[in-house]
Amino acid sequence: MQLTDQHPLVAHATRDSRLIRASLGERPDLTPVWFMRQAGRSLPEYRALRATQSMLDACRDPALVSEITLQPVRRHGVDAAIFFSDIVVPLVLAGLDVQIEAGRGPVFAEPVRTARDVARVTAIDPELVRERAEPIADAVTRTTLLLADESATRGEPIPLIGFAGAPFTLAAYLVEGGPSKDHLRARRLIHEDPAAWEALTGWLAAVSGVFLQVQVAAGASSVQLFDSWAGSLAPAVYRSAALPASRAALEYVRALRLPTGAGMSHVPLAHFGVGTGDLLADIATLDLDVVGIDHRVSLDEAVARLATAVTVQGNLDPALLFAPPHVLDAALDRILAEGRAARAHIVNLGHGVPPETDPDVLTRLVRRVHERPDAA
Ligand code: CP3
């Protein structure tokens, strides 16, 4: 699949944005900053828009999605937008019966626990996701147009980050039927029926891979694969049971060809998981541009463990958003210093913005990051 000169990387110069430059290992004038879950319940303007619709209905409403995606960009002045959607949206498009319960997360009507369950799900052609993805593609395109307007006002290109769930994390929800603490049922299936596990995660790689392709083709300038729960696996199990399917999902993005005018060889790939400190050497084998780090490992230590030239993203503990300003500022100074160990650094939290966060704290944080020049 070939992207054209109409893609925002070329047409809206998002190639020259701070986020994309840092993703590719350049050090722009200022360290870029954005927040996982920057769109969402911490913003009163989000709560007002979301008052009437379910989360998954909202995700298929292009006008609403693009407006919600822009809210934190306008309010906080972050260096990137992340597409407002959810990791289970491609599964909805594939026809699975899933709801997102407020305060809990995704819940599946029929958990996938046996070889027979796996066969039922994997019989669905992942290409159906592409055929049914028009509301997603439409939402991405509208969002990139709104971002181009916002970029003109700001005088700085603002890229859109697309995303998908990694196969292990999606399987952790599917096998369990909903959120769980230790993902025991998913970990059990890995050992009980390795063939069924491989079939399921292979199918999920295709579903997430198609979802990523749809977003990039419609205008996303980079992508992030969320393997939020990978940290519940031992490194050897991660290597054999999770990594191959994550690699396969990322291949869908690597397969996209950029026009020569883009001045880059590929769409930047980022990865994030919670509690992945012991997995970083394995994650590094995914040949990523950016690795997200949670707050449990310092960025300089993470760089040592990654042992390869990647950009790091993170890693302020979300709990610090509730600390007195001087404590938060000191923590920011520390991660900016630790991030210098990497080829480039993108400031983010160690996980998502908690819903009860005071949004003014995030706005102030962005301003402080932008007050520090970062010429190499
Ligand atoms: O701003 C952004 O980061 C983009 C939007 C985004 C959402 N979900 C919106 C959302 C992204 C990137 C996700 C990914 C996602 N979804 C992940 C991976 C990232 C992570 O946090 O680890 C996971 C594990 C999910 C599954 C999921 N969906 C959970 C655990 C929840 C929270 C349930 C709750 O109510 O606390 C959701 C729902 C969800 N996805 C919300 C949002 C804004 C909250 C629902 C609402 O506002 O009604």
Q: What is the pLDDT of residue 261?
A: 86
Q: Give the mean pLDDT of 273-301.
A: 98
Provide the whole-model pTM: 0.97
Q: Which of 18, 46, 79, 86 is catalytic?
A: 86
Task: Let me know how long the chain is.
Answer: 376
| Position 312 in a domain | yes
Q: Which of 173, 238, 294, 305 is catalytic?
A: 173
Q: Which of 37, 154, 247, 340 is catalytic?
A: 37
Q: Give the mean pLDDT of 240-247.
A: 98
Whether cis (ω within 30° of 0) applies to the bond prior to 348 is no
- Classify residue 256 by its DSSP letter: P
Considering its fold, how many domains does the chain have in total?
Answer: 1
- Other beta carbons within 10 angstroms of residue 326's beta carbon come to 8
* 173 is annotated as an active-site residue: yes
User: Does residue 31 come out as left (phi exceeding 0), alpha (psi in the -120 to 50 range) or beta?
Assistant: beta
Minimum-distance ligand 1 atom for the alpha carbon of 38? 1
Reply yes or no on whether the pLDDT at 205 is more than 60: yes
| Position 321 in a domain | yes
Q: What is the CATH number of the domain that holds 168?
A: 3.20.20.210
Between the CA of residue 345 and those of 154, 266, 350, what are the distances in Å?
A: 22, 19, 13
Q: Give the mean pLDDT of 86-112.
A: 97
Q: 217 is written with which tokens?
A: 């083709």
Q: What is the pLDDT of residue 71?
A: 98
Contact criterion met (CB below 8 Å) for 34 and 80 = yes
User: Does residue 54 come out as left (phi exceeding 0), alpha (psi in the -120 to 50 range) or beta?
Assistant: beta
Reply yes or no on whether the pLDDT at 223 is more than 50: yes
Minimum-distance ligand 1 atom for the alpha carbon of 352? 21
pLDDT band at 51 (very low <50, low <70, confident <90, very high): confident
Cβ–ligand 1 distance for 174 under 6 Å, the answer no
| Position 213 in a domain | yes
Q: Tell me the residue range of the domain where 159 lies.
A: 8-370
Residue 362 C-alpha from the chain's centroid: 19
Cβ–ligand 1 distance for 161 under 6 Å, the answer no
Closest CA to 300 of 334, 270, 342, 347: 342
Cβ–ligand 1 distance for 166 under 6 Å, the answer no
Give the three-state DSSP class for 299.
helix
What is the pLDDT of the chain when averaged over all its residues? 97
* 41 is annotated as an active-site residue: yes
Q: What is the pLDDT of residue 112?
A: 98
Cβ–ligand 1 distance for 102 under 6 Å, the answer yes
Segments in 258-358 forming alpha helices (H)? 280-283, 299-306, 325-338
95 phi and psi, to 5 degrees? 100, 5
pLDDT band at 248 (very low <50, low <70, confident <90, very high): very high
Q: Give the mean pLDDT of 85-92.
A: 98
Show Cβ contacts of residue 213 under 8 Å, excluding neighbours closer than 6 positions: 1, 130, 252, 253, 255, 256
Reply yes or no on whether the pLDDT at 376 is more than 70: no
Show Cβ contacts of residue 14 under 8 Å, excluding neighbours closer than 6 positions: 8, 20, 157, 158, 159, 160, 221
Minimum-distance ligand 1 atom for the alpha carbon of 102? 35
Contact criterion met (CB below 8 Å) for 204 and 171 = yes
* 50 is annotated as an active-site residue: yes
User: pLDDT tens across 161-199, in order?
Assistant: 999 999 999 999 999 999 999 999 999 999 999 999 999
pLDDT band at 24 (very low <50, low <70, confident <90, very high): very high
| Position 375 in a domain | no
| Position 2 in a domain | no
Cβ–ligand 1 distance for 80 under 6 Å, the answer no
Reply yes or no on whether the pLDDT at 375 is more than 70: no
Which amino acid residue places its CA nearest to atom 29 of ligand 1? 105
Q: Give the mean pLDDT of 272-286.
A: 98
| Position 347 in a domain | yes
Q: Which of 41, 254, 296, 364 is catalytic?
A: 41
| Position 18 in a domain | yes
* 86 is annotated as an active-site residue: yes
Residue percentage of the chain with pLDDT more than 70: 99
Using most ligand atoms within 8 A of CB, pick from 33, 60, 84, 86 the residue to mutate for ligand 1: 86
Q: Give the mean pLDDT of 208-229.
A: 98
Reply yes or no on whether the pLDDT at 372 is more than 90: no
Reply yes or no on whether the pLDDT at 365 is more than 80: yes
| Position 264 in a domain | yes
Segments in the chain forming alpha helices (H)? 8-11, 18-23, 44-49, 55-58, 62-76, 89-93, 115-122, 127-131, 134-154, 167-176, 184-192, 194-218, 235-241, 243-254, 280-283, 299-306, 325-338, 359-370
Cβ–ligand 1 distance for 103 under 6 Å, the answer yes
